[in-house]
Amino acid sequence: MWGQSAAVPKSLEVRNMFSYILRRLLLLIPLLLAISIVVFLMIHLIPGDPVQIMLGDKGTAEDAQRLRRELGFDQPLHIQYFKFLSNLLQGDLGRSIRNRNPVINEIGAAFPATIELTILSMIFASLIGIAAGIISAIKQYSLIDNLTMVGALLGISMPVFWVGMMLMLVFGSRLGWLPISGRISRMADLDVITNFYLLDSILTGNWAAFRSTFLHLILPAITLATIPVAMIARMTRSTTLEVLNQDYIRTARAKGLPEKVVILKHVLKNALIPVVTIIGLQFGSFLGGAVLTETVFARAGVGRLLINGILGRDFPVIQGAVIFIASFFVFINLIVDILYSYLDPRIHYS
């Protein structure tokens, strides 16, 4: 897929890029099909009967049989899957067993909260991780380097839910600096337009709502970014050390260029190419990490929607949420691959 060349005609490079994107999109079909099969089978083979959960203790055998027939659970498993796949190809993820709302609407209502949290976490992890990695590499074997690596090790080792609870205890309950649950204060009167509260507060000029939304995002964003910031810092340090030992860096220093210019112009650009992959992969995995984070901080996002679906054996919601997260992750990877050619001119598509 990838190749390196000294000079490739621009028109040929564009044509190769579109050909590469098309091939990758075609490869997504069997991948997403496999994901749908695995998700469907895992959900339907786990213990627990959603019909009994819906009816409770007062439901009769006749009620259970009638509801099972209405939901299609009386049909063979492969028939259920092909019906699910047929609806999926039409953009229909089914209806929630609990409230009978279309699953696509449930995900659409929850997605803005998750994407706000994901973007802020990614920005925090990228800025802190890259800065820490570069400084650690420049100050190799110093106290700063050792502290950074110890901090990265702790960040990777600590469970996300534990970090969230500690932040809530210290900065929420003890110090009272930041809110510990929800998306916005009940006192903030926000006119919802897009369901992206930060964007809506800007569009309506409601800066009190903007401040409240941002404050509610800080603790969840730090919690979600804990592991990614550690991974980005370690990767940035490793690639920066590798670039610092290259001949062209020694040549730049021999020419008398200021150290700041050497780092920012020559080291940073080349060191960040592998880091982009880590950031892209982590951005996709943020949706998976949001499951725990949104549950801990009681945020109404896709992660919490998935947890509620699991607890209620709501098969359509679970299937829809997992397939949505998996599809998002796959498309983010594709975007990261495309960005490679812009970061490194030596890379071209073939």
DSSP code string of 129-184: HHHHHHHHHHTTTSHHHHHHHHHHHHHHHS-HHHHHHHHIIIIIIIS--S--SSSS
Q: Mapping DSSP to helix (H, G, I), strand (E, B) and coil, where does residue 322 land?
A: helix
Q: What are phi and psi of 299, to 5 degrees?
A: -100, 135
Rounded Cα distance, 188 and 76, in Å? 50
pTM of the model: 0.78
Beta strands, E only, 47-88: none
- Identify residue 263 by its one-letter amino acid code: I
Fold of 110-337: MetI-like fold (1.10.3720)
Highest-confidence range of 2-11, 222-231, 277-286, by mean pLDDT? 222-231
Highest-confidence range of 42-56, 217-231, 238-252, by mean pLDDT? 217-231
283-314 pLDDT tens trace = 766 777 777 888 888 888 888 888 888 877 77
Mark 39-60 as b/e (b = at least 16 C-beta within 10 Å).
Answer: bbeebeeeeeebbeebbeeeee
99-111 pLDDT tens trace = 778 888 888 888 8
Domain-wise residue ranges, the chain: 110-337
**Residue-level pLDDT at 98:** 77
320 with 96: CB under 8 angstroms?
no
pLDDT > 70? residue 166: yes
pLDDT > 50? residue 4: no
Report the sign of the C-alpha dihedral through residues 189, 194, 197, 201, in that order: negative
